[in-house]
Amino acid sequence: MADRVNEILTGHESLSKKNFPMEVQVFQALVHILRDKQLLADSRAISVEEKIAIFLNALAKNARLYRMY
């Protein structure tokens, strides 16, 4: 999962917009804020970036499904 998140964040901009409903710079700023305020931290199994990526991906999928109906 970490490799996939890194690929999305460092790849073409359209890849990040397809997977996350925000630009890479905004995603990175969100990660920075959540870490600075100690609202999220890396665990042994998953990084903050992965946690946010999973959450945003779920939101984006739900938004696409909602628009279909």
Q: Using a CB cutoff of 8 Å and minimum separation of 24, what contacts does 17-23 make?
A: 19/53, 19/56, 19/57, 19/60, 20/53, 20/56, 20/57, 20/60, 21/56, 21/59, 21/60, 21/63, 22/56
Residue 63 predicted with pLDDT over 70: no
User: In the prediction, which pLDDT does 39 show?
Assistant: 98
pLDDT over 70 at 43, yes or no: yes
Q: What is the pLDDT of residue 4?
A: 80
pLDDT over 80 (residue 3): yes
